[in-house]
């Protein structure tokens, strides 16, 4: 047994407990500086991750491979940006600031286990470790009734989704007698050879899996919680939810469906293709009507998950590689847009798009950053979003899925309208209110990292695509 594979996770867990304990003893007026300590912990975890090898532990329960390595880096970066953008934000919370950072770290730990899980028990526990801290964080602003409402909506729908998922898992366990993903694949494949078509139990199992993960990913018929939770939750948590929590769900989804259910690929790919198209259409059209920037970004992220799932629909290693790269581009662009919104609302106290009028004159830097992020989300060259979309469409066309690519391109045009709407407010409208902008150091740093990420992955995508391709090689047999 090579326990050093678990070293990053063990370290992160100990560091999280350390943060919780320190919060007890630290002077209450200074606990926001625990954020810097959390950032240090994330940095060391990333360092350990680079040092840890590849392999598996506990009989395939914990897989450490290229795919999990890539996604762990995405989660650590998302947590890093979320905490960095929270350091100024938590000063508004009068109590329990240390726990705030600790819970983000705990959720990140769950995500790291989730993308490494090679077995359904581990996967389910990791999924809950990811979401339970997020329930608490969504309701963290105790005096704000919108935050409480976000919390109750998230916790009820999250619990329903996990109940549906666990029922699906129990059906699959009953059909195969195994919880190991590779053994499930083997067992389902041999049953498939023996009996041919899918039995009704398996159809139910697969549908329950799609529904359970659909909630986590905010796929279209299961997306109703997303806009309310995104609007009500504290904004750094919204950013974290929209990137890291989705990425974690996606990683587990890809592992289950590409490993366990790959025999029935033609059947579930059709369902995913329909859901992805619905997501792109509905997300983009409803986003057009939004006046609140957090709500607009919520609907835009419902649409973005549709684009990401095109990589799943392609069902090839290139599809996985392109969705991994897209996740990376989406990480910086979406986190950046939310961090821009945090910066803006810290100064003005508003999340309304019309209040962004005249921002280019008051804070040219912030306006420029927001423009870069929003244009990257649309997919304008030379930004990261363009490369991501190009690569993901190419992977789908390669496998002959022309229809979904046409839908994706048409809906991108709709998306252009509402993203550029914000840019228009910032550059071409005069503002009515006067306020002076001073952006704290932590937010400046976070914005800077995101802009660098978006530009770097857009202008020099080769090393990032190579990394994503290496991640996809775990599923090399397609």
92-131: contacts with another protein (CB under 8 A) = 120-121, 124-125, 128
Residue with smaller CB distance to another protein, 90 or 178: 178
Residue with smaller CB distance to another protein, 169 or 467: 169
Secondary structure string (H, E, C) spanning 142-177: CCCHHHHHHHHHHHHHHHHHHHHHHHHHHHHHHHHC
- CA 18, 19, 20: angle at the middle one, nearest 5? 90
Smallest distance, another protein to C-beta of residue 168, A? 9
Separation CA 275–CA 123 (nearest Å): 23
Is 286 an interacting residue with respect to another protein (CB under 8 A)?
yes
Residue with smaller CB distance to another protein, 166 or 455: 166
Is 166 an interacting residue with respect to another protein (CB under 8 A)?
yes
The SS3 assignment for 224 reads coil
214-273: contacts with another protein (CB under 8 A) = 227-228, 231-232
Smallest distance, another protein to C-beta of residue 67, A? 24
Smallest distance, another protein to C-beta of residue 159, A? 5
| Nearest residue to 85 via CA among 240, 226, 232, 229 | 240
**Binding residue for another protein (CB under 8 A) from 17, 21, 51, 145?**
145
**Binding residue for another protein (CB under 8 A) from 81, 114, 164, 341?**
164
**Binding residue for another protein (CB under 8 A) from 170, 364, 433, 466?**
170
Is 177 an interacting residue with respect to another protein (CB under 8 A)?
yes
Contact present, 451 and 444 (Cβ < 8 Å): no
**Binding residue for another protein (CB under 8 A) from 109, 171, 375, 408?**
171
Count CB neighbours of 295 within 10 A. Answer: 21
Contact present, 294 and 341 (Cβ < 8 Å): yes
Is 295 an interacting residue with respect to another protein (CB under 8 A)?
yes
Contact present, 62 and 5 (Cβ < 8 Å): yes
Residue with smaller CB distance to another protein, 88 or 228: 228
Judged by CB under 8 A, the number of residues near another protein is 43
Contact present, 71 and 247 (Cβ < 8 Å): yes
User: Omega of the bond prior to 382 within 30 degrees of 0, cis?
Assistant: yes
Separation CA 478–CA 465 (nearest Å): 18
Binding site for another protein (CB under 8 A): 120-121, 124-125, 128, 132, 135-136, 139, 142, 145-146, 148-152, 155-156, 158-160, 162-164, 166-167, 169-171, 173-174, 177-179, 227-228, 231-232, 286, 289-290, 295
């Amino acid at each position: 047994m090579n326990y050093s594979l678990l070293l990053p996770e063990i370290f992160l867990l100990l560091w999280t407990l350390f943060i919780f304990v320190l919060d007890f003893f630290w002077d209450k007026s200074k606990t926001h500086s625990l954020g810097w300590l959390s950032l240090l912990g994330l940095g060391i975890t990333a360092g350990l991750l680079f040092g840890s090898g590849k392999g598996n532990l506990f009989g395939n329960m914990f897989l450490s491979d290229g795919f999990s390595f890539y996604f762990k880096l995405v989660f650590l970066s998302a947590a890093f940006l979320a905490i960095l953008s929270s350091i100024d934000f938590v000063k508004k919370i009068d109590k329990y600031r240390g726990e705030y950072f600790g819970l983000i770290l705990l959720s990140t730990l769950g995500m790291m286990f989730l993308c490494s899980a090679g077995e359904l028990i581990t996967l389910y526990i990791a999924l809950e470790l990811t979401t339970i801290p997020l329930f608490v964080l969504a309701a963290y602003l105790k005096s704000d009734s919108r935050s409480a409402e976000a919390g109750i909506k998230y916790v009820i729908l999250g619990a329903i989704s996990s109940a549906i998922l666990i029922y699906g898992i129990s059906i699959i366990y009953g059909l195969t007698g195994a919880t190991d993903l590779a053994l499930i694949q083997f067992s389902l494949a041999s049953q498939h050879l023996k009996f041919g078509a899918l039995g009704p139990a398996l159809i139910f199992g697969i549908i329950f899996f799609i529904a359970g993960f659909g909630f986590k990913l905010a796929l279209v018929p299961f997306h109703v919680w997303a806009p309310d939770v995104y609007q009500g939750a504290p904004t750094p948590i919204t950013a974290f939810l929209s990137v890291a929590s989705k990425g974690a769900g996606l990683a587990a989804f890809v592992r289950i469906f590409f490993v366990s259910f790959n025999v029935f690929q033609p059947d579930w790919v059709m369902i995913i293709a329909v859901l992805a198209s619905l997501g792109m259409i509905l997300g983009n059209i409803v986003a057009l009507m939004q006046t609140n920037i957090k709500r607009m970004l919520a609907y835009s992220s419902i649409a973005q998950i549709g684009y990401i799932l095109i990589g799943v629909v392609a069902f090839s290693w290139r599809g996985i590689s392109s969705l991994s790269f897209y996740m990376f581009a989406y990480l910086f662009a979406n986190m950046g847009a939310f961090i821009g919104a945090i910066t803006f609302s810290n100064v003005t106290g508003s999340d309304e798009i019309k209040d962004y009028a005249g921002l280019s004159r008051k804070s040219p830097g912030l306006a420029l950053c927001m423009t870069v992020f929003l244009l990257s989300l649309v997919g304008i060259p030379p930004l990261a979003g363009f490369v991501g979309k190009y690569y993901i469409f190419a992977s789908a066309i390669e496998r002959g899925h022309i229809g979904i690519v046409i839908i994706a391109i048409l809906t991108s045009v709709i998306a252009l309208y509402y993203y550029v709407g914000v840019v228009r407010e910032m550059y071409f409208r005069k503002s009515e209110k006067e306020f002076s902008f001073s952006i704290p150091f932590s937010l400046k740093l976070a914005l800077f990292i995101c802009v660098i990420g978006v530009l770097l992955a857009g202008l020099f995508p080769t090393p990032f695509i190579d990394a994503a391709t290496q991640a996809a090689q775990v599923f090399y047999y397609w």
